[in-house]
Structure 1
Amino acid sequence: MSRSVETAFREDLLEQLTYFEKETSELLRKAHPDAAKRDAIHALISAYCDHIQAYLDGDIIGETDACVWIGSTVTIVDELDGSEEQYKLVLPHEIDADLGHISFLSPLGSRLLLARRGDRIEVDSPAGSYGVMLFETVYRK
């Protein structure tokens, strides 16, 4: 990764940490009336922020395209029919279905966050459970 790309990536991660410091309470308030689901969302946000901090501290090296960050574009493969779909994982206020931008809080997005290439992901959605494989992840701002 070039120095300027790495610098931009680090700046994006710092912006995300700032966002979560300011917005986590509001995200949890809006998230779900069920306390267990709110707790799961809080745990997801905490784990993600911990991962960001570990990267920024230098404890994790080379992770830019090895795992899914908020801002990553992912290609997943459906286990049943082998079809590929591409999505970009975004913050809730950046959702755009026409562009394939899904929230990290959605059933699929929450399972993709921090997943690694080659991971099998089981997604529980309102329409039922399904499995996908994370084929590729690329971080792009």
Structure 2
Amino acid sequence: MDKIPMTRAGFTALDDELKTLKTVERPAVIRSIAEAREHGDLSENAEYHAAREKQSFIEGRIKELEAILSLAEVIDPAKLSGSIKFGATVTILDEETEEERTYQIVGEAEADIEAGLLNIKSPLARALIGKDEGDSIEVKTPGGERGYEVVSVRFV
């Protein structure tokens, strides 16, 4: 399988989530299941079914995180330079609204647009890759094409 690029911060966050699921959440749900079993008839025991459902979610997330982390290729953006690429922190200017936004281009598993972490596979990130400060880009969005200017590129 292909490696999954991610920053050190993204790797650490996913690893911390995995540890929490294994050491806190999993034991807690096992206790909940045991307590619910003590209440008797499992066929009509809502607590038991809810706990089993939560256990299923936790186990699924653990498997997902283990798979992602096993394929992770941690990239240190501070060691990079040049035009925009994975790990770059980019400030762009919306040419229509004159609004500046700053994003770091990160891997799919760590992307969070609200936190300024832009998925490398997103249309905006794909349009930014290879560009430099001062370049303009056009991005197709559901609301039509948007124009942006690259204000700054940093690797931190």
State the TM-score bracket (shorter-chain normalisation): 0.5 to 0.7
Does residue 122 of structure 2 align to residue 106 of structure 1? yes
SS at 1:22's partner residue?
Answer: coil
Residue of structure 2 aligned with 1:129, choices 145, 150, 153: 145
Structure 2 matches for 1:15-26, cutoff 5 A?
22-23=2-3
Matched with 2:90 is 74
Matched with 1:90 is 106
Residue of structure 2 aligned with 1:116, choices 116, 132, 135: 132
**Hey, what's the Cα distance between the residues in 2 that align with 1:77 and 1:129?**
14
Dislocated runs of 4+, deviation >6 Å: none
**Matched AA of 1:120:** S
When normalised by structure 1's length, the TM-score is 0.53
**Hey, what's the Cα distance between the residues in 2 that align with 1:84 and 1:97?**
14
Give how far 1:23 is off.
4.1
**Hey, what's the Cα distance between the residues in 1 that align with 2:142 and 2:122?**
11
Give how far 1:96 is off.
1.4
**Hey, what's the Cα distance between the residues in 2 that align with 1:96 and 1:90?**
9
SS at 1:108's partner residue?
Answer: helix
Once the two structures are aligned, what percentage of the paired residues are identical? 31
**Hey, what's the Cα distance between the residues in 2 that align with 1:132 and 1:97?**
17
SS at 1:68's partner residue?
Answer: coil
Gaps of 5+ in 1: 1-20, 25-62
Q: Which has more radius of gyration?
A: 2
Q: Which has the higher contact order (CA 8 A, sep 6+)?
A: 2
When normalised by structure 2's length, the TM-score is 0.48
**Hey, what's the Cα distance between the residues in 2 that align with 1:114 and 1:91?**
16
1:75–1:84 CA contact under 8 A, matched in 2: yes
**Hey, what's the Cα distance between the residues in 2 that align with 1:23 and 1:126?**
30
1:58-102 deviations in Å (ceiling 9; x for gaps): xxxxx71x3112111100011112110111101111101231101
**Matched AA of 1:75:** T
The number of residue pairs the alignment matches comes to 81
